[in-house]
Amino acid sequence: MAFDIINPATGEKVNSFEEMSASEVQSILELSAGAQREWAATSFAERARLMLSVARVLRDNKEEYARLMTEEMGKVYPQGIAEVEKCAWGCEYYAEHAEAFLASEDVPTEAERSFVTYKPLGVVLAVMPWNFPLWQVFRFAAPALMAGNGAVLKHAPNVFGCSLMMEGIFRDAGFPEHLFRSLIIDIPLTTEVIHNPLVAAVTITSSVNAGRAVASEAGKVLKKCVLELGGSDAFIVLEDADVDKAVEVGIVGRYQNSGQSCIAAKRFIVVDAVYAEFETKFVAAVKQLKMGDPSAEGVYVGPQARVDLRDGLHDQVQRSVDAGAKCLVGGQVPEGPGAFYPPTVLAGVKEGMAAWSEELFGPVATLIRVKDEAEALEVANCLDFGLGGAVWTQDLARGERIAADGIESGAAFVNDMSKSDPRMPFGGIRNSGYGRELSIYGIREFVNIHAVWVNKL
């Protein structure tokens, strides 16, 4: 079986990869397991030295890596540069903090000494998506490797070039040759890898359905897994918000990466008092966004990653309009090659519409009008998703209360958009998954929390 890589901006085939055989995969897993056993015995200082080398390789070659993302999944080139820089930052963060995060901790008990240590689990399988083809991987790989684990990556088929590129990055940085490996495989072999006794745990960033499938297979063999799944983040704008700033940040939060982000601001929930002003300014700003060749200067919105994804998004928009939503801008599939979909705004979105309840994974914003804070929170929390959320208000005490106690999600932001940051835990609740990535919590997901009691004879 061959995996063809199609440039989503042109529709042209740019590469093709043959699927690995089961025996090839088994050989890789054996080599990875052997490399991991040796790696687990290295010092944090040695791991940090090599992880800092990865950061240097990333920065030294960021233009090349950004161009490959542009070619394979249509990422706008400057946003690709920023993604590579963020990966380097994540590597540096864990190089600096991993040892402290995993230091043994004394616990006072009746024993002579009792303490907790953190030990690597082994080889971790990562099942990763195409939308942030480098960052999604590095935010797992940097902490997992610094903890002493090995990694095998099953990336999305349309970014297999990026997958092999990252394998090369770790090798070029001086890591053991088989500690981080890429698997060019499809779903059936992925299931076999999950079940393989050489794999200790699994992490996946993907859709709700894919997460359920992976969690089910991991559960059959009682392996730890972390799930980062879909989201339909609320972006609440209250009556005392700075509307201009909310629009400015909301545009980035919804349309960066051509709208293809789990934590994008998808539902703009705006109170009556400022709704008209917000809608007018938001639509005007969307009309200024330039869509086109993701490698061209000035373009902010590139193509969707695949034509079928673009068509599925358009179907959600059409079903919402048919149900009574109003399309204020965009909403039409452009003529010509590529998987382009224009920046779109839907207003009058009500319960029962696709744009209300389904995740819109593309450049489509939904505007929802509510009467007050109480209704805003009711709408924000009415879905089964719970990844991120935001609230806009000039009363910081009010905003902190809403973010901490009102928005039901893995993270909430006051006067900002949802984002991931190496210093803070990242993950969701309900259908947005479980477990955490990043910060101290992320590095402790794939370790054995090992209790030790010592008594005198």
One digit per residue, the tens of pLDDT, for the chain of length 457 reads 899 999 999 999 999 999 999 999 999 999 999 999 999 999 999 999 999 999 999 999 999 999 999 999 999 999 999 999 999 999 999 999 999 999 999 999 999 999 999 999 999 999 999 999 999 999 999 999 999 999 999 999 999 999 999 999 999 999 999 999 999 999 999 999 999 999 999 999 999 999 999 999 999 999 999 999 999 999 999 999 999 999 999 999 999 999 999 999 999 999 999 999 999 999 999 999 999 999 999 999 999 999 999 999 999 999 999 999 999 999 999 999 999 999 999 999 999 999 999 999 999 999 999 999 999 999 999 999 999 999 999 999 999 999 999 999 999 999 999 999 999 999 999 999 999 999 999 999 999 999 999 998 8
Kindly name the residue from 92, 228, 279, 359 that is annotated as catalytic: 228
Q: What is the 3-state secondary structure (H, E, C) of the chain?
A: CEEEEECCCCCCEEEEEECCCHHHHHHHHHHHHHHHHHHCCCCHHHHHHHHHHHHHHHHHCHHHHHHHHHHHHCCCHHHHHHHHHHHHHHHHHHHHHHHHHCCCEECCCCCCEEEEEEEECCEEEEECCCCCCCHHHHHHHHHHHHCCCEEEEECCHHHHHHHHHHHHHHHHCCCCCCCEEECCCCHHHHHHHHHCCCEEEEEEECCHHHHHHHHHHHHHCCCEEEEECCCCEEEEECCCCCHHHHHHHHHHHHHHHHHCCCCCEEEEEEEHHHHHHHHHHHHHHHHCCCECCCCCCCCCECCCCCHHHHHHHHHHHHHHHHCCCEEEECCCCCCCCCCCCCCEEEECCCCCCHHHHCCCCCCEEEEEEECCHHHHHHHHCCCCCCCCEEEECCCHHHHHHHHHHHCCCCCCEECCCCCCCCCCCECCCHHHEECCECHHHHHCCCEEEEEEEECCC
**262 noted as active-site residue:** yes
pLDDT given at position 141: 98
**228 noted as active-site residue:** yes
pLDDT given at position 284: 98
pLDDT given at position 457: 81
Q: What is the value of pTM for the model shown? A: 0.97
Kindly name the residue from 87, 91, 162, 262 that is annotated as catalytic: 262
pLDDT given at position 456: 87
